[in-house]
A and B are shown apart, each in its own frame.
Chain A
Amino acid sequence: MSEQAVIQADNLSLTFQTNDGPVHALKDVNLTINKGDFVSFIGPSGCGKTTFLRVMADLEQPTGGAISVNGMTPEAARKARAYGYVFQAAGLYPWRTIEKNVRLPLEIMGYSKAEMVTRVAQALELVELTGFEKKFPWQLSGGMQQRASIARALAFDADLLLMDEPFGALDEIVRDHLNEQLLDLWKRTGKTICFVTHSIPEAVYLSTKIVVMSPRPGRVTDVIESPLPKDRPLDIRESKDFLDIAHRVREGLRAGHGDE
């Protein structure tokens, strides 16, 4: 089991030193994420869910405890291109076409021309953007732009996908659609996905594992293994199992809030 752990965090802590004194963004977080898991991190703002994701990505340095990504330090994992990171905003370059945006990480990583062409085509196909290669970002809707940014994170074939509230800025209808597509993509590619959200239905619908977090200090209050099947039509959200999990998540969030 442990050899399959993609993320392993032991007593992980991160304290920011600010002018108003230390802020405990993460405190004693223990978590194991296995290969192929779809893990959602949910909690109120300030609970450290984004910070945790950024620690995995080597964008923040922990101040205590240990974390490994694919059995390596986050820095080694980043350099080994172990993960793709999708930010809250699509962050596409306005001077590059969709195709060239998806190509950018490949250019930086020094792939050959031929390989770039196939990989870009594959990535765009995965997010159903085939046919939009030559469009510029501003010619696409917000949802399509976010899909392009997911394609960009997929292009170099990392097994781990880190997503920081990628659909947070989109309306609910687009969001439902993208959630379905993301699940489909996860099933087809078998990637491990870490997904930060503040929406309970989104977390329950997508995840095999839900990590509930609470703020000040940021820590994990509950880890829920979802009993939902891998195949999830949208209307699973009205099933009893779904509502039960959602209830437990809500309880967890409330409990975390209670002892503040």
Chain B
Amino acid sequence: MRRFWHSAGPVLTIVAAILLGWYVLAVILNMPWTLDRMERAGESLSFTERVADTWAQDKPRLPAPHQILVELYDTVIDKKITSKRSLVYHSWVTLVPTVAGFALGSLLGILLAVGIVHDRTMDMSVMPWVIASQAVPIVAIAPMIIVVLNAVGISGLLPKAIIAMYLSFFPVVVGMVKGFRTPDRMELDQMRTWSANKWQTFWSLRWPSSVRFLFPSMKIAISASLVGTIVAELPTGAVAGLGARLLGGSYYGQTIQIWSALVMASLLAALLVMAVGMAERITMKAMGMAR
């Protein structure tokens, strides 16, 4: 029991503090509506009744945690997965382009890093563009990408994946350029004494040296990819996906729906990052670098 408390204690304390703060905030933010309605109905409620009402409104400014949980239960467990109202269905719709965009972004990032490390011209010219690309707000670019791709007849999964890729290649380029450059002067000299060519130096030295940088970059990339997909779902009038749930929720003031989609999105992000972390542990172990 003591050991359990030792490891879980701090986490539980923080969670409890957040929940407490959340309920208090819900009371403060939702109270005006409760009072307003009370006045119009000519009722007079006691303090406890008022507080209870702030936690049970249909369209609260800030839904209480248990309302979100109930909504999650309804839409995740009660609904059939194939139902358009199932959050699992919407999560899946978002997950596929996220993973596709992440894969494309990682590939693009690695290829760009290879070019930057091996070619002086690319080294001097590509990085500023890479950085500039990330300075442009994705919400501004996303609709244009979708419109342009639609004009050439591409719609559905690919536009979303491309926007996800746009966000996810960046951490990979930066991390892998650093990773490919970790071999020091001595290691490169050693390769030269064996008259190794660039290709051999890359595969036996630079690539394995960069693995330590690859996975942390990919953890950032996969969560960026999820954000990219959700953003891509916002302006397109998409009918499915977590982004569509967020947008739909905000059209109709369904704050509980918005929050449950948000919670789902963060759970999804956590799962994806964990999956990359697991791949990292397996790879490191296979390479003999985990102790």
Contact = CB atoms under 8 A, between A and B. Distances in A.
Nearest to B284: A95
A109 B194 contact: yes
A95 B190 contact: no
Nearest to A97: B288
A16 B74 CA distance: 75
A27 B196 CA distance: 31
Given A87-B189, A89-B186, A107-B204, A94 B288 contact: yes
Nearest to A79: B195
B213 to A, nearest CB: 14
A160 B32 CA distance: 88
A24 to B, nearest CB: 22
Nearest to A75: B195
Interface string A49-74: 00000100111000000000000000
Contacts of B204: 93, 104, 107-108
B84 interface: no
A107 B195 CA distance: 12
B208 interface: yes
B193 interface: yes
A143 interface: no
Contacts of B186: 87-89, 91
Contacts of B195: 78-79, 81, 108-109
B187 interface: yes
A87 B188 CA distance: 12
Contacts of A105: 194
Contact of A138 (B200, B205, B291): B291
A108 B204 CA distance: 9
A85 interface: yes
B124 interface: no
B153 to A, nearest CB: 46
Nearest to A134: B288
B80 interface: no
Contacts of B211: 95
Contacts of A242: none
Contacts, number: 51
A108 B194 contact: yes
Contacts of A59: 189, 192-193
Interface in A20-37: none
Interface residues of B, number: 19
B289 A94 contact: yes
A83 interface: yes
B287 interface: yes
A95 B289 contact: yes
Contacts of B190: 85, 87, 91
A136 interface: yes
Contacts of A83: 193
A138 to B, nearest CB: 7
Contacts of A54: 189
Contact of A85 (B193, B200, B205, B289): B193
A91 B188 CA distance: 10
A155 B8 CA distance: 54
Interface in B248-291: 287-289, 291
Nearest to A107: B204
Contacts of B194: 81, 104-105, 108-109
A108 B205 contact: no
Contacts of B196: 108
Nearest to B195: A79
A238 to B, nearest CB: 36
A94 B288 CA distance: 7
Interface in B185-244: 186-187, 189-196, 200, 204-205, 208, 211
29 contacts: A54-B189, A57-B193, A58-B192, A59-B192, A78-B192, A78-B195, A81-B194, A81-B195, A85-B189, A85-B193, A87-B186, A87-B189, A88-B186, A91-B186, A91-B187, A91-B190, A94-B288, A95-B208, A95-B289, A96-B288, A97-B288, A104-B204, A105-B194, A108-B191, A108-B195, A108-B200, A108-B204, A109-B194, A109-B195
* Chain A to chain B: the 5 pairs with minimum beta-carbon distance, closest first: A95-B287, A85-B193, A136-B288, A105-B194, A108-B196
Given A84-B193, A108-B194, 6 more contacts: A59-B192, A78-B193, A91-B187, A94-B288, A95-B287, A138-B291
